[in-house]
Structure 1
Amino acid sequence: MPATTHCRICGGTVREFIDFGRQPLSDAFVDPDRGGEQEFFYRLATGVCQSCRMVQLMEEVPRERMFHESYPYLSSGSSYMRAHFEGVAKHFLTTELTGEDPFIVELGCNDGVMLKAVADAGVRHLGVEPSGGVADLAAEKGIRVRKDFFEQATAADVKRTEGPADVIYAANTLCHIPYMDSILNGVTELLKPGGVFVFEDPYLGDIVDLTSFDQIYDEHFFLFAAQSVQAMAERHGLELVDVERIGVHGGEVRYTLARQGARTPSAAVAELLAEEEARDLAGLATLERFADNVRKIRDDLVSLLTRLRAEGKRVAAYGATAKSATVTNFCGLGPELVPFVCDTTPAKQNRLSPGTHIPVRAPEAFSSPYPDYALLFAWNHADEIMAKEQAFKEAGGRWILYVPEVRIV
């Protein structure tokens, strides 16, 4: 019988369908001199609510442990993502932010890559970002930032000082937040009567289709689908009025919520809801099949890396991503199978990966000399990375991918 807990959205019964075991914080890279002596571990398991169909973690990690002054992820680290967020800003500037003195609030603005384009257009804005280091980077770009977690009290204070918002936006942020009642109460407090709340996050349908199990880690508390977002919105007087499939981060959906009755839902909403119902996307049987596929990937990846080591091949990893913590710890991949991982983020370099303690090196180490094989943790940026690393391929190097199955390219 699967383990159960109570749903963080509706209070229903959540039934577990996969357990990744003991996991570290995904972005807590370790100082080699301290050897992980103070690492925090928790049980990473995922379940689905039998009432509202929300897929969610079985256990919550305290938010202060994940989002703090030294949080290392930068939204602007990828040229592809910079272009994506600049496109989001242009969309809002030509649609929702065209009235008199428009105002946009971004939850989790990170280093301000989206709001920079809004600020350059002279539009009033505010980023709400709890991770102080990245908030400072945004402020250095001339972006107005409040260092805080967004919740109902925050929203009320922003409304008092700034007035209501035409747009509230969040990218790869809402799924991080277990206390959704306070978030959505804050949205309804801050949003103008005709305004929109737009958020984009990894899509459950793509995660199941691609078996992209590394999308499940401490920072991704919820895995959204149209069905569960619709149910969540209705509990707070909001309505799902549009959905858009987007290709970033291995497959996401951009959801648009408005006050109930304020806007006519697009045909795309009914189409995606019908598709999810037809495939029983959040059904326990569907998700248990997903879990079986995950375990096969684990076994295949460990088998491949073990064989390559026996053959004397040099293997390195590429991209010390947050989601790679799930892969390395679930699969038991340490320095004996993956001697090092290269990453462009200075805050991660010369440290050790969470839990399994793979050394993180600067990008220059990748070509000094090139390995025989590169395990691509940043698979969601595969096209961008492979185009950048043509010399690796020309030198005879091969990429190892594990989504949607283990293969060499």
Structure 2
Amino acid sequence: MSTCRICEGPVKEFLDLGRQPLSDAFPEPGGTEGEFFFRLAVGLCASCTMVQLVEEVPREKMFREDYPYHSSGSSVMRAHFEATARRFLETELTGPDPFVVEIGCNDGVMLRTVSDAGVRHLGVDPSAGVAEVAREKGVRVRTAFFEEATALDIAATEGRADLVYAANTLCHIPYLDSIFRGLDALLKPDGVFVFEDPYLGEIVDRTSFDQIYDEHFYFFTARSVQAMARGFGFELVDVERLPVHGGEVRYTVARRGARTPSDAVDALLVEEETRRLADPATLDRFADAVARTRDELVALLERLRDEGRRVVAYGATAKSATVANYCGLGPDLIAYVTDTTPAKQNRLTPGSHIPVRDPEAFSAPYPDYALLFAWNHAEEIMAKEEDFRAAGGRWILYVPDVHLV
């Protein structure tokens, strides 16, 4: 049994997804020796109910200079972050000389709207490649990991912030004690920290176990975030359900007593209690459902192979590493994965070593079936690839269960 990184309580493991690689490290053909692997297992803290990975991957291995993920790659996500920025400009960033800091700004998709509005801002991201893309868009970026020392330096050189924001980033950071000490130093007395991440309730509901991979260390609920915030002298004051990335929650945290918690916080806490989301039995049932999904997906792909059907995959996502390696998928079952990211093309998927090809390969010719790894963008992708369906192709999805479309 391991120890909780938040409260030092006992963490009981409930799901083991086996030997896994770095989810965003795509080796070149012939360059697979020396790949980094770790055991991907998840546990529940008996004290604060925080669900977390049992084994931590060193941050320098994951968030490298050549980190290939770009937030702007999806039109849906671009619209989401532009709307988020406009909302902040109308709410938290309305005072004299407002200042916002984004943790993990990636390619600057949110801060670009803030920059265009002439509002002071600073992105903090450790991956030099995406940080440079953000700078080319006119976004101010500091290439660094955000932690207490970073926050202290920003406060000293830039002043305190009205808002600190993080999207799909806080769940990546095991050392949240340093993060909250940094927030305490950086935020104005009435400032807020707003972050959005995959929601454990949605992961359990959809059996979307591929949301679990090396970069996602924590899996938040309102209850665990409330306990975490209180432990660091803050308070959860608002929650909002979001449809993006397979279901997320946006949490707003302020210093204790600075703001009155909204009714939405109590409503989500009651819902989680009713669902027994922090009950070990609930998570054990989730683990059983994950195993069933694995068995059904492998059986389907093996049957299609034996029938001579051609199957490819769509979207070399980070989460697809979990599916491919947990299910033992390789080039014998999937001919290739198509992806729009140039940095991934002509390489191999992490651990499973399936070739990654450019989007043009998908229609030259169309396969019989396409396994949709990027299922969280299903509507956008299927609309884009109508010709695939017209040619007789069918999509394979595994969330919330294995089925054909």
Task: Give the shorter-chain TM-score range.
Answer: over 0.9
Other-structure match for 1:215? 211
Other-structure match for 2:202? 206
Aligned equivalent of 1:130, options 108, 126, 131 = 126
User: For 1:120-155, what per-residue CA distance to the aligned partner results, in whole angstroms no more than 9, with x for missing partners?
Assistant: 000000000001100010011111100000000100
Q: What is the deviation of 1:339?
A: 1.0
Q: Any idea what SS the aligned residue of 1:243 has?
A: strand
Residue identity (%): 73
Q: Which residues in structure 2 correspond to 1:159-308 (within 5 Å)?
A: 159-308=155-304
Other-structure match for 1:38? 34
For 1:159 and 1:49, the matched residues in 2 are separated by 33
Counterpart of 1:126, as a letter, is L
Other-structure match for 1:8? 5
Other-structure match for 2:327? 331
Aligned equivalent of 1:28, options 25, 28, 52 = 25
Counterpart of 1:108, as a letter, is G
Q: What is the deviation of 1:236?
A: 1.1
Indicate whether 1:47 and 2:64 are aligned. no
User: For 1:362-401, what per-residue CA distance to the aligned partner results, in whole angstroms no more than 9, with x for missing partners?
Assistant: 0000000000000000000000000000000000000000
Other-structure match for 2:78? 82
Q: What is the deviation of 1:283?
A: 1.2
TM-score normalised per structure 2: 1.00
Give the total of aligned pairs. 405
For 2:396 and 2:351, the matched residues in 1 are separated by 22
Other-structure match for 1:401? 397
Indicate whether 1:390 and 2:403 are aligned. no
Q: What is the deviation of 1:261?
A: 0.6
For 1:225 and 1:84, the matched residues in 2 are separated by 21
For 1:356 and 1:150, the matched residues in 2 are separated by 32
Indicate whether 1:311 and 2:307 are aligned. yes
For 2:34 and 2:71, the matched residues in 1 are separated by 27
For 2:121 and 2:34, the matched residues in 1 are separated by 39
Q: What is the deviation of 1:33?
A: 3.0
Q: Any idea what SS the aligned residue of 1:113 has?
A: coil
For 2:313 and 2:274, the matched residues in 1 are separated by 38
Other-structure match for 1:155? 151
For 1:243 and 1:39, the matched residues in 2 are separated by 39
For 1:291 and 1:321, the matched residues in 2 are separated by 22
Q: What is the deviation of 1:98?
A: 0.5
For 1:143 and 1:38, the matched residues in 2 are separated by 36
Q: What is the deviation of 1:300?
A: 0.1
For 1:322 and 1:293, the matched residues in 2 are separated by 21
User: For 1:38-80, what per-residue CA distance to the aligned partner results, in whole angstroms no more than 9, with x for missing partners?
Assistant: 2000000000000000000000000000001000000000000
Counterpart of 2:367, as a letter, is P
For 1:351 and 1:282, the matched residues in 2 are separated by 40
For 1:302 and 1:188, the matched residues in 2 are separated by 48
User: For 1:170-227, what per-residue CA distance to the aligned partner results, in whole angstroms no more than 9, with x for missing partners?
Assistant: 0000000000100111111100011110000000000000000000000000000000
Q: Any idea what SS the aligned residue of 2:318 has?
A: coil
Aligned equivalent of 1:104, options 100, 106, 110 = 100
Other-structure match for 1:344? 340
For 1:194 and 1:41, the matched residues in 2 are separated by 43
Aligned-pair RMSD on alpha carbons?
A: 0.4
For 1:380 and 1:189, the matched residues in 2 are separated by 36
TM-score normalised per structure 1: 0.99
